[in-house]
Structure 1
Amino acid sequence: MPTKIRPTLVLWGVRMGFMSYGWDAGVLGGVLQTSAFQSAMKTPDTTTTAMIVASFLLASWLGCVMAASPWSDRIGRKIWVCVGAFIQIIGTVISTSAYSTGQLIAGRVLIGVGNGFVVSTGPVYIAETTGTVKQRGPLVGILMGFACVGTACAYWIDFGFTYATGQVVWRLPVAMQIIWSILAIVLTFPNADSPRWYFLQGREDEGKLVLQQIYEDNSLANKVAAEIQTELKQEVGETLRFSDFFIDRSETKAATRIRDGVILVGVAYLMGINMIFYYMTTIFQVYIGLAPTTASVCSGAATTLLAIGAFVGSIFCEKSGRKKWLLWGSALQSVFMIAFVGLLSKAATSKACGSAAAAMLFGWILVFSPTWAPQPYIYISETMPLRHRHTGVGLGMSAQWLMAFLTVYAGPIGFENVGWKIWIWFAVFNVLGFPYVYFFLRESRGRSLEHMNELYNNNLAVASGAASPSEGSGSVTDIQEKA
C-alpha cells in the first residue's frame, strides 16, 4: 500500500464519489415520465416505479451497514472508496442495458451498495487527512455540495434529452454516472490511507510519515501523532454495548455519540429532501399542475439552488456553531413546509395556490441546502471516537438511506392514497429537528479530532495536564489553526 499522500487528490477523489451519489439520486427523477422509459419498462405501475427508484436507497443502506461492521475497519478508508466506485460502475452497466424492471432494479441495487461504501467512508477519509481544524468542517460539508451538483447536472442532462428521441433519452443519462466513478478511483487509489487509520492498525511509522506529508512540519506532525496515540489509549477497552445506546456509562460516551449521529441524520432525511428530489418533476407536473417543460425547468432550477446553498453552508459553517446552523434551519424550514402543505391542499382547485406552493418549496430548499444538507455530515464525521469512527459514520449514513427509502418508496403510494396529506409527515419532522438539536447535540466546532473525547468527558485530556482547546492552551488544535 502506498505511503505517499496528496491531500488534494484525496479531496477530489471523494468529491467525485459524491458527484456519483448525487447523479444516481437525481437521474431517474427526470426520465420516469418519458415515453422511452415507460416503453422500455413496459409502463410500470406506481408500486413498481417506487421500487425502481427506492432500491438504490435500500441498497445504499446495506452498503453503509457493511462499511460500519467491526471487521470493515481492517480494510482502510481508501479501499472502501475505490471498491464502492468499482461496484457502482458494474451496476451502471447493468442498469443502462436494462429492458425489464427486474434487471434495472438489480443494477440499482449494485449501484446503491457501492454508493454506501463511498458515502460512509469518504467523509471519514477527508476528516482524518485535513490539516487544520478550520478547514475540516468546510471540506467535509462541501461533499454534500458536490452531491447536489451531481443531482443538478443529472436533472439538466435529463431536461436536455427530453428533446431527443428513442432509448437514448434515458439510457445515456444513466450511463454517464460511470464518469464520476472512474474519476473517484483514478484520483483516490494512488494515495496512502488516513494517518489515523494507520495508527489504529498499529502501523505508527506509516502514520507518522503520512502526517509529515500533510503538515509539512515534523514537529507539528509528531505532536499530532502523540495526541492520536493518547486518544487510542483513552479508548482501550471501550466496547460498544447495546445498553449503552440508552444509558451510556463509558468514559468516552462512544454509544451516545453514535446514537446522536444516527438520530440527527435520520431526522434530516425525514424532513422530505429525498421525496422532493426523487419526484421533483412529478410533483411540479402532476400535483402542482405545471406544464411538462416548465416542470423540468423548475426541477433543474431547484437542484441547482440546492447545490449552491450546500456550498455556501459548508464554506461558512465555521462562522457559527454547528448547532446554530441546524436550529435556524429547522425553524425556517418548518415555516416553509407548513405553508407548502396548506397551499398544496388547495392546488387542485386554484392555480394561484399551486404557484404559491411551488414558491414555498423553493423557499424550503433555500433554507435546507446550507443547513440540514451539509451540517449532519460534518457533525458525525468529527464527533465519533477514533476506534469507532467507521462504525459511527457508517451507521449515521445508514440512517440517511433507511429514512430515504421509507419516504421515497412510501411517498408516491401515499400520494395515490391520501394526496397532499402525506406532506404533514414531513412537516412534523421539520419541527421536531429544533428541540432535538437544542437539547441533545453538543457543539463540536473548533476542536481537533483528538479533542472530541473531552467534549463528552471533561476528565479526559489529550495530554497530561492540558487544558481544553477552547481555553487557549496552546494545544495542537491552536497550532493547527496557525499552520
Structure 2
Amino acid sequence: MLSQLSGRTLYKVMSACCGSAFMLYGYDAGVLGGIQSTPQFLDAIGNPKGVYIIPIIASIYNLAAAAMASLPPIQASSYSVGQIITGRIICGCGIGCIASAVPTYMAEMSLEARERGPEVCWQLALLITGVALAYWIDFGFVQGLETRPYLWRIPVAMQACFAIFSAGGLVFLPDTPRWYYYRKRIPEADAVLSRLYNLPEDHPIVQAQKKEVLTSINEEDNAKFNILHFFWDNSDYQVGRRLRTSFLILFAQQFLGINMLVYFSTTIFLKLGYSHFLSGILAAVLNTVFALASYPPVWYIERIGRRSMMFWTSIGCGICMLVYIVLTTLPESSQNVATNWSAVAMIMLYMVVFGFGWLGPPWIYGPEIAPLKYRHVAGGLAACGEWLSTWVMVFGGGTGIEAVGPKIFIWPLICCFIAAVYVWFYCPETTGRTLEEIDYLFAKQHVRDRMNQMGIGSAGDMRRHSVHSIEKGRTGSYTQYIEQAETSSAEQVKFDEVKFGQV
C-alpha cells in the first residue's frame, strides 16, 4: 500500500519514517545519561573503577557510527562493561548510517528549495525530542530502581521501537530521483518524480525538473576530484572544498560543547550540589528546553539563512559558556544558591541558542553543497565529522568534568568563537537555491557562464519561478518562460528575475 502513495502523502510518510530514525538517534544519545550514575546500573556492570570507564561507555558508539545497523537490545541485557560497550558499538554502526543517509535523502526528495531547510530542521528537532524523551523515561524508571533494580534495562531496550517503525516504512519507499538519474535508470527516476509531484510523467513541471537534474549531472562529469583537493582546491567546481566543508561544519558543531552537556547533564547538576532526584529533573528539563528550541528553525531557516544563523548563534553560545564558567569557578566563599541557579540558567540559555542556530543548519548545509556525484560522500563525511568530534568531546569532556570540573568548558568556549570565524569566511549562503543551483554558486566564472547557457544558475532561477507560477495558477506561458531562460543572456535573465519578483 505504501508503494502506491504519491504527492504530499508520500512525502509525509518519508518524513515520518526518517523522523523516527532520527528520534532513535536522539534517544540513543540520551538514554544512558539518566541512568549511568545510578548504583543499580553500576552494580549491573560490576562497579567499574576509574574516571575513564563511564565516558568510554557513553562515547564508544560514536566511533562505530559509520558502518552497518544492528539491534539495540544487546545493551539492555548487559551484565558487564564489555557487553554494554559491545552493544553501544553495534548500535553506533546503525546510528552512523542513519546520520549520513537521512539528511541527504530528505534534501534530495524535497520538491522545492524552500522545503529543504525546514524539512531537515524538522528531522533534527525530532532527534532532540528523542533525547528529551529518553531523559524523562529514564527519570520515571529510575524512581523504582531501589525495589526493582532491573528497571534501567527497559528504557535502553525501548530503542528498538523507533528502529522497527522506521525500517518497516522505509523498506517500501523509493530512492531519490537524482540517484536513479545518475545511474542512468531513467524510467525509475521519471516514475519517482511523477509520484513526488503527483503529476503525469510528461507534465511540464516534471519534465523541467528532469531536464535541470540531467543537465547538472552532465555538467558534473567535468568535475574531477583529486584527494589533494580536499586540502587545497583551486579547481573549476571546487569539489574538494565542498567535501571538506561538509566534514568540517559538523565537526565544528560538536566542538561547541553541546553533547558534553547532553551526555553528562545529570553529572553536571550533581557537581553543582543538587540531589540525584533534582539533578534528574533538571537534566530532563534541560533537554526538553533544547528540544523546544529546535522547532522554531523549521519556520525561520529560510527567512534568516543558514550562514547567519550559524554565525550569530555561535557567538551567543560562546557568551553563555563564558558566563557559566565564571559562575562555576568563583571562589567557594562566593558560590551560593543564586550563583548555582544562575549557572543552570546559562546552560538552559545555551541550549536555546544552540538549538536555534547550530542544530539544523549544519546538517543540511553539508549534503546540499556537494555535487550529486559526490553527495553520498559528503553525507558520509558530514556524519563522520560529527561522530568523531562527538567522541572526542564526550570522552574528553566526560573525563575532564571528573578531573578538573567546570574549567573543562573553556575548551568549547574557545571553539564557539573559532566556529563563528570559520562560518563567516568560508561558508557562502545557500538558502533559496536548488541543489543544482548550488553547483553554480561554487563554480568558477567561466563555468558559470556555460551553466547559464544550459539553464542552471540564473536561468535555473527563471525556470523555477516559471514552475511555481504554474503551480500557483498564475498567468504566463511556461514554454515562453523556459525558452526565454534558455536563450537569454545572464544579464537579461537577471532583468527578468526582477520583473517577475524573483529578487
1:360 counterpart (346, 350, 372) = 346
Q: Which structure exhibits the higher relative contact order, with contacts defined as CA atoms closer than 8 Å and separated by 6 or more residues?
A: 1
Aligned-partner residue type, residue 467 of structure 2: I
Provide, for residues 254-282 of structure 1, a one-character-per-residue CA deviation record: whole Å limited to 9, x for no partner.
Answer: 11111112111111100111110000101
- The 8 Å contact of residues 323 and 438 in structure 1, kept in 2 or not, is answered as yes
Contact 1:322 1:445 in 2 (8 A): yes
Tell me the residue number matched to 1:476. 464
Distance verdict in 2 for CA 1:420–1:275, change over 3 Å = same
The reply to whether residue 98 of structure 1 matches residue 78 of structure 2 is yes
1-structure distance, mates of 2:467, 2:76: 51
8 Å contact kept, 2:215–2:454? no
Q: Which residue in 2 is equivalent to 1:329?
A: 313
**Counterpart in 2 of 1:207?**
189
1:163 and 1:265 map into 2 onto residues whose CA distance is 36
- Counterpart for residue 429 of structure 1: 415
Runs of 4+ in structure 1 off by over 4 angstroms are 1-5
Fraction of identical pairs, as percent: 29
Residue matched to 1:79: none
Q: Against the structure 1 CA distance between its residues 473 and 444, is the aligned structure 2 distance closer, same or farther, given a 3 Å change threshold?
A: closer
CA shift in 2, pair 1:428/1:248, >3 Å: same
Cα deviation for residue 418 of structure 1 reads 2.5
Q: Are residues 1:124 and 2:104 paired?
A: yes
- Aligned with 2:56 (options 28, 51, 55): 51
1:382 aligned onto 2:368: yes
User: Which residue number in structure 2 is paired with residue 343 of structure 1?
Assistant: 327
Query: Larger Rg: 1 or 2?
Result: 2
Seen in structure 2, the aligned counterparts of structure 1 residues 386 and 465 have a Cα distance that, compared at 3 Å, is: closer
The equivalent residue for 2:453 is 464
- TM (norm. structure 2) is 0.87
Q: What residue is the counterpart of 2:394 in the other structure? A: 408
Q: CA deviation at 1:249?
A: 3.0
Q: Deviations over 1:72-124 (max 9, x none)?
A: xxxxxxxxxxx73xx1xx2x121111101101110110100001011101111
Indicate the SS of the match to 1:247. coil
* Deviation, structure 1 residue 237: 4.6
Determine whether 1:235 maps to 2:226.
no
**Letter aligned with residue 464 of structure 1:** Q
Task: Check whether the contact 1:149–1:307 (CA below 8 A) recurs between aligned residues.
Answer: yes
Deviation sequence 1:193-214 (CA, Å, 0-9, x none): 1111111111011101111111
- Take 2:102 and 2:158, find their aligned partners in 1: how far apart are those partners? 21
Instruction: Label 1:128 to 1:465 Cα distance change in 2 as closer, same or farther (>3 A).
Output: closer
Q: Normalising to structure 1: TM-score of the pair?
A: 0.90
SS of equivalent residue, structure 1 residue 464:
helix
Q: Counterpart in 2 of 1:40?
A: 44
Contact 1:131 1:480 in 2 (8 A): no
Matched, 1:14 2:18: yes
In structure 2, the residue matched to 1:69 is none
Report the 3-state secondary structure (helix = DSSP H, G, I; strand = E; otherwise coil) of the residue aligned with 2:399. Answer: helix
Superposed displacement of residue 248, structure 1: 1.4
RMSD (Å) for aligned C-alpha atoms? 2.0
Task: Within 5 Å, give how 1:46-445 maps onto structure 2.
Answer: 46-60=51-65, 62-63=66-67, 84=69, 87=70, 90=71, 92-165=72-145, 166-217=148-199, 218-286=203-271, 288-346=272-330, 349=333, 350-351=335-336, 352-445=338-431
CA shift, 1:348, in A, is 5.2
Task: Tell me by how many angstroms 1:410 deviates.
Answer: 1.2
TM superposition shift of 1:184: 0.6
Q: How many angstroms does 1:29 deviate by?
A: 0.3
- CA separation of 1:28 and 1:322: change in aligned 2, threshold 3 A: same
Distance 2:454 2:43 in 1: 70
